[in-house]
Structure 1
């Protein structure tokens, strides 16, 4: 059975990230249906809006928008009514709830969530730190990390680290290599939360095999030997248990799910660290 497709128009006065995230989260609930995304970022003028409306006329479909400028929002809604395209403001219901609870109207600011504030620079700082401490680099500076991820090769350490960095969490990651000792500093760290990442040997072997194929390398290697990989995983599990480090099995988790679990652990870690100080 083939997939069904529909046009999805995402109109934003900022980067459009909010719309993309929300629409994909909803679209994922419908099997056999895929959206053809038309993204219009930084729509802040009548001319830009008219260009988007012309595209909607040419390819009718669902329209989602985040436009805080009411004049632009009203013109888009009117145009969609004339075209017969369902149109919905993603932010308005939430803003209405905020206004009702807070008791004050919002001050419209296009792209306000992307302003260069302290949180923005914290995330950039975290990303720089994470890139410099990827795959065991600069282990002598691990005390400055918020989180350190340990795991055998192909347990999603790097992508998870980058995701955490985008949330403002300075993350280092260190691969567990057979017969290679951990840096001594790991056992004496006070500030960072250390998390062990695990995965089933079958999953790791599959990912490693695909990696070797992409490099046109020989698959006759200890790197993908089922028995040796299982031994690696067991030894890493023993290491984590020895030190009392929390673990997360990433076998069936997405990067986002793994990161969410780590963020919860990090919040608890910070509370304990503050209480002990």
Structure 2
């Protein structure tokens, strides 16, 4: 199994969005009325997984419209909180093309959750055979103001149900191929239906935590993201990641600025 860790540009956020802060400010993660010194740039990662049973993409990163009209693409409210940057050659369409693939070659697009920087580029991969999102995430996204529903307009998303498996922080997961090689672990807290992805072969294992934590400090010190729907669940998910970090060979967070694009063979 080959795992390509790719960056579809980066996003500028307030540091309190990555690591929750407590203080006088009611919503420091917005960056409103906050010093520019508190703004940080972090990568927007996606993962292309070459598996013997199919070609998988985890999250889609930024759409190319970020280059030309991101206020329209993100919406005024979201644009006031964070900014995207997408260099030429780094959209998911371009990254796939560089590796000799088209959207139609993708067997699965796995959407860890439906925040903008994870689904913005969905339009570029609508030709994939199956686009999966958890039923909990889909329900929350279609009733809440947090999400930009235009980002999946026209896409044929397939919802799946987590199963009571005894795996993960809430004992729920979804085994994509039924052989334990690709398991979507329910790690709620940052959002209702978010999942992390556990990859296993006979030789090695990898955990892709997405936004369960933004960087190793998140699970090492149990600091939840700035935006959560349930702090207790978010911390529970981080405790599980902390435990896994000592058992798997690799752990990667979506917005960890220390991680560079690379390919790892498991």
Report the structure number with the largest CA radius of gyration.
1
Same fold (TM over 0.5): no
More strand by share: 2
Report the TM-score, using the length of structure 2 for normalisation: 0.28
More helix by share: 1
Higher relative contact order (CA 8 A, sep 6+): 2
Report the TM-score, using the length of structure 1 for normalisation: 0.28
